[in-house]
Amino acid sequence: MATTHPDRTSPSPQAPAAPAANAASARLRKPLDLLLGAGLGKLLRSVGIGQPSAPGENLLDLADALLSVRGRASGPSLAAAFFRLYESRNEAERRRFLETIHERYPLDAHAIDKAIAQWQAKRDEASGLALHAASKSPCRRLINLLNTAPDGTQKLLWLREDLLSVAREDRSAGLLAFDRELEGAFTAWFNAGFLELRRIGWDSPAVLLERIIRYEAVHAIRGWDDLQRRVEPVDRRCYAFFHSQMPLDPLIFVEVALTREVPGAIHDVIAEERESVPVGEAKCAIFYSISNCQKGLKGIPFGNHLIKRVVGQLREELPHIETFATLSPVPGLARWLDGEETGKSPAPADDILRAEAARYLVSAKGRGNQPRDPVARFHLGNGARLEAIHANADLSPNGVKQSRGIMVNYLYDLDYIEANCFALAEMGTVATSKKVRALLDDGSDEESGGKRRKSAEAA
């Protein structure tokens, strides 16, 4: 369960064997022992925390202390103490805490009933505020208090990484409930209005550039020279969202290529030997890689705001740019084809494969009648149009494995974004170009295509 993070020291996932057990236990107790022996010890004992008992209990004790102490000055110290203790725990003890914490602090039904009665009797501002306070989750208050620790926001993200590392089928009701509280808090804290958009260049701090190499999730960056080719040339851009509490750790970033025309293969964009395009000759801005950086922010919707903000910035900086599009992978295509095909037939010819990809992107739907493919769901949900489908566009091992070498262009036509969003959200209709519709029409009479289309519609 414990997640290895590049900037975080994780405890050993297994308890050490005897005779080292006593030494390990003493090492786990050390953070709280030090606190109890220091000035904070009097504070902790005043709220009922004495010498440590079972290892898993101490985290709950510190949570109790945070919710009990009223002094603002002591809250950050207790929050820091909590994270020091949490980070010293092994996988089993962390999970025990995460599974238990929500059940330990349920809503106060009596206080809510009392506040409702007061509201029904008076219906004034004071009774409304009292009802709001009574219905506020104690776990959410605990999360807010933990955020006051130094680097508290980052540490809470790592805590959620631990939670999300538990297999979905193994997550208890308590884990799911606490995750909802964390996701709700992060949705508020990482609202796009609170985020800073910054351009990342070759002159950015080395620690930030190293993280861009590490976080790149679409087209691997093969060292510093490769990174330099992506951020330094005049026809390349990289933009990221940052939170004020994490100024050197991006939340999400996008890589942009300024080109004369819309490319149909990733090699044309990231090839080592390519020639730069003078900015004045570029007509297109191509978003060719978008990477989420923080696993703890899974499910927090700010990626769509990144694209729109970058488009706005590029239009202001380079008003001659006419086309905003992507060169995107189709990460679910190979799996879908494997599920649709029978036998051991050879790989489809390029035109057939492109037609199959078109059917997958347009017809294969998941939850809420939205596109099954995650990248398609992201761009089409932002109002883009499925513009073109290219074979042999990404022949890297990963590109062949997940997309059979297929890549697609999603076009952001600013005049039609809202209409495309509405059509997809309300009717499940994917906006497509004439080129894509031709692919669908050309393959409509093929028996295998018809079978796959029916399967996709039934999914």
* pLDDT computed for residue 61 by the predictor: 86
**Mean pLDDT confidence for 228-255:** 96
175 and 197 housed in the same domain: no
Q: What is the DSSP string of 260-307?
A: SS--SSTHHHH-TTPPPPPGGG--EEEEEEEEE--GGGTT---HHHHH
Handedness of CA 196, 202, 206, 211 (dihedral sign): positive
pTM for the model stands at: 0.81
pLDDT in tens, 296-317: 999 888 878 999 999 999 999 9
- In the numeric block, the tokens 């669908």 are attached to 440
Peptide bond into 19 cis (omega under 30): yes
257 and 110 housed in the same domain: no
Residue 373 lies in a domain: yes
Total domains, the chain = 3
Please state, in angstroms and rounded to a whole number, the distance separating the CA atoms of residues 264 and 22: 62
SS3 content of the chain, % helix, strand, coil (to 5): 55, 10, 35
Please state, in angstroms and rounded to a whole number, the distance separating the CA atoms of residues 324 and 320: 12
Residue 14 lies in a domain: no
Helices (H) and strands (E) in the chain, counts: 21, 8
362 and 426 housed in the same domain: yes
**Stretch among 32-41, 206-215, 269-278 having the lowest mean pLDDT:** 32-41
Q: Which of 162, 189, 216 is the last residue of a domain?
A: 189
204 and 302 housed in the same domain: yes
The residue among 166, 239, 174 whose CA lies nearest residue 204 is: 239
Q: What are the residues facing 291 on neighbouring strands?
A: 253
168 and 217 housed in the same domain: no
- In the numeric block, the tokens 């990289």 are attached to 238
pLDDT in tens, 109-141: 888 899 899 999 999 999 889 888 888 889 999
* pLDDT computed for residue 74 by the predictor: 76
203 and 113 housed in the same domain: no
* pLDDT computed for residue 2 by the predictor: 45
The token pair that represents 267 in the structure block: 């090699």
Residue 32 lies in a domain: yes
Please state, in angstroms and rounded to a whole number, the distance separating the CA atoms of residues 106 and 37: 32
pLDDT in tens, 438-453: 999 875 544 444 444 4
Spatial contact of 354 and 443, defined as CB atoms under 8 Å apart = no
118 and 197 housed in the same domain: no
261 and 155 housed in the same domain: no
* pLDDT computed for residue 449 by the predictor: 45
Q: What is the CATH number of the domain that holds 391?
A: 3.40.630.150
Rg value, the chain, Cα: 26
256 and 185 housed in the same domain: no
Spatial contact of 246 and 195, defined as CB atoms under 8 Å apart = no
How distant, in Å, are the alpha carbons of 210, 278, 310 from that of 287?
21, 18, 10
380 and 321 housed in the same domain: no
Q: Which of 326, 359, 390 is the last residue of a domain?
A: 326
- Tell me what percent of the residues of the chain surpass a pLDDT of 70: 81
Residue 108 lies in a domain: yes
pLDDT in tens, 255-271: 999 999 999 999 999 99
89 and 228 housed in the same domain: no
Spatial contact of 406 and 390, defined as CB atoms under 8 Å apart = yes
Amino acid at 237: R
Spatial contact of 391 and 400, defined as CB atoms under 8 Å apart = no
Residue 453 lies in a domain: yes
Q: Which of 282, 297, 326 is the last residue of a domain?
A: 326
157 and 33 housed in the same domain: yes
Q: What is the CATH number of the domain that holds 161?
A: 1.20.140.90
Residue 136 lies in a domain: yes
* pLDDT computed for residue 349 by the predictor: 87
Q: Count Cβ atoms within 10 A of the Cβ of residue 399 and give its class: 0-12 exposed, 13-18 middle, 19 or more buried.
A: buried
- In the numeric block, the tokens 């092994």 are attached to 90
Domain span including residue 390: 329-458
Amino acid at 332: G
Residue 390 lies in a domain: yes
Q: What are the residues facing 388 on neighbouring strands?
A: 409
**Stretch among 20-24, 244-248, 279-283 having the lowest mean pLDDT:** 20-24
Q: What is the CATH number of the domain that holds 247?
A: 3.40.630.180
Residue 257 lies in a domain: yes
pLDDT at 184 over 50: yes
